Amino acid sequence: MPPHRSSAWRFLLLVLALGLLAACGERPAQPSYKGADITGADFGRRLELTDHNGARRSLADFEGKLVVLFFGYTHCPDVCPTTLSDMAQAMQLMAPGDAARLQVLFVTVDPERDTPDMLKAYVPYFHPAFLGLYGTPEEVARAAREFKVSYRRHVEPGATGYLVDHSAGSYVIDGEGRLRLYLPYAHPPQDIAHDLTLLARNG
């Protein structure tokens, strides 16, 4: 092959290679979450309960915000306070603008004991923006079924009260009301902040 044709051929290969690299670079990178990506889940679309201030709430009330939804109860000895504390720490690790888009909702699975006043004293203790939600036993059961959450009353031998065994993970719902992430119990605050920031900025 003559020298001038060889040079032209190498130049053409270089152009094609650069074009391929540029095309690859233009593809949006898929977010890499620490929790479980459940985008497209066919449950968790409705929530109709009352907050600890007495306002009736649905997911539509939080349009444009990221919602972290957790089911628990105020007498919980470990899982619930740990989860709420981790969420509060995660918010502190986030940029103020991202954290401002976040709404944490704590749904009681013990409506017989968790009165509005008790929720109002307990939930905002971890962060003033957190909201406690309650309803009749039937309303709570309906919400739990919608989000595939299980719970049952459990009495320890010799105890005067009771505990409630319940699902321990949290759901993250995007600003359009769609389930996006599942955060398991004891998900580190740094990982929570990472996931929520990623979702807030990438949608």
- 153-175 residue pLDDT tens: 988 887 778 999 999 999 999 99
pLDDT for the residue numbered 29:
57
Mean pLDDT of 82-101: 97
Confidence class of residue 5 from pLDDT cuts 50, 70 and 90? Answer: very low
**Both 80 and 12 in a single domain?**
no
Indicate the average pLDDT of the chain.
88
**Both 95 and 192 in a single domain?**
yes
**Both 115 and 150 in a single domain?**
yes
Higher local confidence (pLDDT), 8 or 42: 42
Residue 104 pLDDT greater than 60, yes or no: yes
pLDDT digits (tens, 9 = 90+) for 25-55: 444 456 799 999 999 999 999 999 999 999 9
**Both 17 and 67 in a single domain?**
no
**Both 58 and 23 in a single domain?**
no
Residues 6+ apart with CB under 8 A from 132: 51, 52, 105, 106, 107, 108, 114, 116, 119, 120, 122, 123
pLDDT for the residue numbered 60:
96
**Both 50 and 146 in a single domain?**
yes
pLDDT for the residue numbered 192:
98
Q: How many domains does the chain have?
A: 2
**Both 13 and 49 in a single domain?**
no
pLDDT for the residue numbered 82:
98
Mean pLDDT of 103-111: 98
**Both 14 and 40 in a single domain?**
no
pLDDT for the residue numbered 156:
82
**Both 79 and 168 in a single domain?**
yes
**Both 63 and 149 in a single domain?**
yes
**Both 25 and 76 in a single domain?**
no
| Euclidean distance between CA atoms 14 and 4, whole angstroms | 16
pLDDT for the residue numbered 30:
64
Residue 24 pLDDT greater than 50, yes or no: no
Least confident of 24-38, 52-66, 82-96, 117-131: 24-38
**Both 132 and 171 in a single domain?**
yes
Query: What phi-psi label fits residue 93: left (phi over 0), alpha (psi between -120 and 50 degrees) or beta?
Result: alpha
| Euclidean distance between CA atoms 161 and 75, whole angstroms | 10
**CATH number of 76's domain:** 3.40.30.10
pLDDT digits (tens, 9 = 90+) for 181-201: 999 999 999 999 999 999 999
For the four alpha carbons of 141, 79, 123 and 198, in that order, the dihedral sign comes to negative
Domain that residue 15 falls in: 1-29
